[in-house]
């Protein structure tokens, strides 16, 4: 006589399957979050890890830029779309002709709060020069909360931009906040820093000043085949 299989043994399997399905759904629908270092790991796993040694900017990866991953050649991505303070849809084309420090942040991100004043100070330092610091909020829903966040921190020189569905963040392959992309005058990514930094530190300003100067541009052109 064959003994019936106890149905209770199926319960743990069903629970595990349900849990894994929930985790998969969460990561496919949630905004970028978690360990900032995951961004670099994901790039390496995907076989797209930039070559720091081959980058013409590698000598500047020190101090607050030591986590900056410079690309051997600029990276392009699909056209990004987000909203300005007036709620109008805009893209990177509004910064054409400028280098861009594109910072992705959110109000719930503690490191974002800590580095925001230094981003504001960096924009002040480069006022009137061909470099724009763009802080792009990934907070869901209304823009009221992230706007209040900037007001509370007394941010005066950063324009407000909002990515409420994290679409621009996903289109650039982000996996954590804060993450900052360095874009050239054509909107191509030349470097990426996952995690926070002191953006108005001397070594950062020195690098960006060299970047927008003819001297460094000539070095880059000379290094390319």
Model confidence over 152-193: pLDDT tens digits? 999 999 999 999 999 999 999 998 999 999 999 999 999 999
Report domain extents, the chain. 38-223
Instruction: Give residue 4's pLDDT.
Output: 47
Is pLDDT above 80 for 218? Answer: no
Instruction: Give residue 214's pLDDT.
Output: 63
DSSP 48-105: ----TTTSTTGGG--GGGTTEEEEEEEE--PPP-EEETTS-EE-GGGGTTSEEEEEEE
Greater model confidence, 12 or 58: 58
Greater model confidence, 218 or 1: 218
The C-alpha atoms of residue 46 and residue 14 are separated, in whole angstroms, by 31
Give the mean pLDDT of 80-108: 97
Instruction: Give residue 56's pLDDT.
Output: 84
**Res. 137 pLDDT band, cuts 50 70 90:** very high
Domain 38-223: top CATH class: alpha beta
């Amino acid at each position: 006589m064959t003994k019936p299989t106890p149905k209770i043994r199926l319960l743990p399997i069903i629970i595990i399957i349900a849990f894994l399905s929930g985790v998969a759904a969460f990561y496919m629908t949630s905004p970028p979050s978690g360990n900032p270092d995951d961004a670099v790991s994901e790039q390496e796993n995907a076989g797209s890890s930039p070559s720091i040694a081959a980058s013409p900017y590698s000598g500047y990866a020190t101090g607050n830029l030591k986590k900056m991953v410079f690309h051997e050649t600029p990276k392009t991505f699909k056209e990004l779309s987000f909203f300005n303070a007036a709620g109008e849809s805009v893209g990177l084309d509004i910064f054409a002709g400028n280098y861009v420090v594109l910072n992705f942040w959110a109000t719930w991100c503690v490191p974002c709060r800590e580095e925001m004043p230094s981003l504001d100070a960096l924009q002040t330092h480069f006022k009137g020069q061909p470099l724009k610091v763009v802080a792009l909020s990934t907070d869901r829903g209304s823009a009221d909360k992230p706007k209040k966040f900037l007001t509370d921190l007394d941010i005066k020189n950063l324009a407000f931009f909002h990515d409420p569905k994290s679409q621009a963040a996903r289109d650039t392959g982000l996996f954590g906040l804060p993450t900052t992309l360095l874009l050239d005058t054509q909107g191509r990514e030349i470097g990426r820093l996952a995690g926070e930094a002191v953006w108005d530190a001397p070594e950062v300003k020195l690098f960006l000043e060299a970047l927008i100067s003819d001297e460094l541009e000539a070095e880059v052109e000379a290094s390319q085949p």
